[in-house]
Amino acid sequence: MAVQRLVTKTAYAQYEKQLLKEVMEGGPMPDHLAVIMDGNRRYAEQVLDEDITIGHGLGEEKLEEFLDWCLDLGIHYVTVFAFSTENFDRGSDEIDYLMDLFETSLYKIADLDKTHEKGLRVKVMGDRTMLSEEMRGAIAYAEDRTSGHSAYNFTIAMAYGGRQEIITAVKDIAAKVRDGEMAVEDISEETFSKHLYTSDMPDPDLILRTSGEVRLSNFLLWQMAYSELYFTDVYWPGFRYIDLLRAIRSYQRRIRRYGA
Ligand code: IPE
Ligand code: MG
């Protein structure tokens, strides 16, 4: 049994090495990778037979690990869907638990040596009026502490909804037109994009979702026009480095034509 396990471990390590080589030689890295982290509760219940809070805790740990992988691979923009506007419909205990985790994580990531060695800028996007005072404090801490960086970008979508983001942009633009600061003729894809939370980012090259669900659930609706999509059955807390490498390899194998 022990020998069996050793063989499996070696085979796994070899496979990972092989995949990494293919990815490093296989074409460009996605510049912007966006992730819908899904399946925390199912992982806890189905895989571990544990309470859902365990799943959320492991999901948070996975996020830190994932960010580390992306930094090592040289992916410049990583955007994750942490909490949607719809997630506020969950029970208050679960919401409080998740928010505590995000808060702790924000402080932690902002203070990591690697964050400053690599030059990682941390940002949160979403409707902050829906977030608590403590959460806004954690966000301000992480954003201020990393505001001098620009080499890498990590954006956490929290209290985020794609339609809500678009409506906010429309209102901003309408107000500018009303006040004479902008002409109707100035409204273009480019100027519209400048009114979204993602104004200073390229659109995502690759959007990845875990847990077997095949939908985008109101994530980056405008920005995903030409994104490649990748869905995997693994639950987020069970997501491994090889799963990331497979997603990137799949992305590299696709020919991106932009409709041309
Ligand atoms: C993702 O896992 C975490 C958040 C949406 C906050 P879920 O909590 O959606 O877990 P499942 O998808 O129900 O298993
Ligand atoms: Mg889910």
Domain count, the chain: 1
Residue-range definition of the domain harbouring residue 230 = 30-252
- Contact indicator for 19, 246 with CB cutoff of 8 Å: yes
Residue 7 domain-assigned? no
- Determine the atom of ligand 1 nearest the C-alpha atom of 44: 14
Whether 218 sits among the annotated catalytic residues: the reply is no
Per the domain annotation, does 19 fall within a domain? no
Nearest protein CA to atom 12 of ligand 1, as residue? 39
pLDDT bin (cut points 50, 70, 90) of residue 259 is confident
Q: Is the pLDDT of residue 138 over 90?
A: yes
- Mean pLDDT throughout 71-75? 98
Residue 178 CA to ligand 2 center (angstroms) comes to 40
| Domain of residue 148, CATH code | 3.40.1180.10
N- to C-terminal Cα separation, the chain: 55
- Rounded to the nearest angstrom, the distance between the alpha carbon of 123 and the centre of ligand 2 is 23
Please classify residue 115 by burial: count the beta carbons closer than 10 Å to its beta carbon, then call 0-12 exposed, 13-18 middle and 19+ buried: buried
Residue 170 has pLDDT above 90, yes or no: yes
Give a yes or no: residue 81 inside a domain.
yes
pLDDT of residue 1: 66
pLDDT at position 93? 97
Predicted confidence band of residue 9 (pLDDT cuts 50, 70, 90): confident
Q: Ligand 1 center to residue 92 CA distance, Å?
A: 15
Ligand 1 centroid to 260 CA: how many Å? Answer: 37
Task: Give, to the nearest 10 degrees, the angle between helix 2-25 and helix 241-253.
Answer: 30
**Annotated catalytic residue within 87, 100, 127, 218:** 87
| 18: in domain | no
At 17 the pLDDT is 96
Q: Is the overall model pTM greater than 0.85, yes or no?
A: yes
Among 38, 203, 205, 243, the active-site one is: 38
Residue 206 lies in a domain: yes
Name the one residue in this structure whose structure tokens are 């992480």.
142
For position 56, what pLDDT does the model report?
A: 98
Domain assignment present for residue 142? The answer is yes
When pLDDT is cut at 50, 70 and 90, the band that residue 256 belongs to is low
Asked whether residue 15 is domain-assigned, the answer is no
Q: How confident is the model at residue 222 (pLDDT cuts 50, 70, 90)?
A: very high
Return the ligand 1 atom nearest residue 84 CA: 5
Please answer whether residues 122 and 110 qualify as being in contact, where contact means their C-beta atoms are separated by less than 8 angstroms: yes
Q: What is the structure's pLDDT at 131?
A: 98
pLDDT surpassing 90 at residue 112: yes
192 falls in which pLDDT band (50, 70, 90)? very high
Residue 2 domain-assigned?
Answer: no
Pocket of ligand 1 (CB under 6 A): 37-42, 59, 83, 87, 98, 211, 236
